Amino acid sequence: MCLISFSYKFPEGNHFVLAANRDEFYERKTLAANSWEEDPRVWGGRDLQNGGAWLGVRVDGRFAFLTNYRDFRLKPLSSPISRGHLVRDFLLSEESPKVFIESRIMNSSSYEGFNLIIGNHTSAHYWNNIKKLEHELKPGIYSVSNGILDEPWPKLQKAKSRFASLIESSNKNQFDPNQFFNYLQDKTQAEEDKLPDTGIPKDKEKALSSIFIELSGYGTRSSTFVSFPQNGKVIREERVWIP
């Protein structure tokens, strides 16, 4: 489970800006964001359980990130392919976003539910395998959590609004990561009548409704900020809360 807000080719002069929280079980072994051994051009964290990744960027502007799609009414797969391999494989490949998705869409039912966003300097694409959504992204600001892209969950709407305000008020696309990390630590839970219905009890929906999650054995383990201007200094920063 994660919460990610990002801008793609917006405003003018920006290639990509992202602010994200990664939510995961505390016991799952993880490698903090760094350059990858397979390709030092790639920066991101690694899942040591299955060898995949949830978010990463490459020095040439290639990026990929993924969230789980949450619907506990769906029957779990007996032996699914790791979703994190999609992020890993795209960052280590040279395929265009469209070709990458087209080459894997036939196997979409072999994965548990996910949202995948991948891109480069030419294009960016969104893919949800449960709702069978796949399309190219236009320049703009987006957010994704554990529903579909821009689904109006309270925490997603709040995060997107805070992110958009910081993006649109920036001075010549100069961003202060601290401002993004501040809102990513918001622990305010949503009102009960505004909670989504993902097939779990209301008390659990409420516990998962804050931007920053703190539960017994599960919660927000790290936050990430990335700023990738078309020309200028790239910022990549991860703050780890639970190693």
CATH of the domain at 56: 3.60.60.10
Peptide bond preceding 201 in cis form (omega within 30 of 0) = no
- Ramachandran quadrant class, 85 (left: phi over 0; alpha: psi -120 to 50; beta: rest): alpha
- Unique residue bearing structure tokens 């990130």: 65
pLDDT in tens, 176-231: 999 999 999 999 999 999 999 999 999 999 999 999 999 999 999 999 999 999 88
pLDDT of residue 224: 99
Tokens in use for 132?
């069978």
Domain extent for 42: 2-240
pLDDT score at 94: 98
Asked whether residue 59 carries a pLDDT value surpassing 70, the answer given is yes
More confident residue, 171 or 99: 99
CB of 85 within 8 A of CB of 51? Answer: yes
Distance CA 172, CA 34 (A): 28
To the nearest whole percent, how much of the chain has pLDDT over 70? 100
CA gap 42, 138 in Å, rounded: 24
Mean pLDDT of 70-83: 97
Non-local (6+) Cβ contacts of 63 within 8 A are: 16, 18, 56, 57, 91, 117, 118, 119, 120, 124, 226, 228
Helix (H, G, I), strand (E, B) or coil at 156: helix
Q: With bands split at pLDDT 50, 70 and 90, how would you rate the model's confidence at 1?
A: low
> How far apart are the C-alpha atoms of 165 and 162, rounded to whole Å?
5
Looking at residue 203, its pLDDT comes to 97
CA–CA distances in Å: residue 50 to residues 86, 127, 187: 12, 21, 29
According to the model, what pLDDT value does residue 171 have?
82
Give pLDDT, residue 91: 99
Distance, in Å, from the CA atom of 54 to the CA atom of 73, rounded to the nearest integer, reads 24
Give the pLDDT band of residue 13 (cuts 50, 70, 90): confident
Domain count for the chain: 1
pLDDT at 172 over 80: no
**Which single residue is written with the structure tokens 């993006």?**
167
**Whether the predicted pLDDT of 239 surpasses 90:** yes
Q: How confident is the model at residue 232 (pLDDT cuts 50, 70, 90)?
A: confident
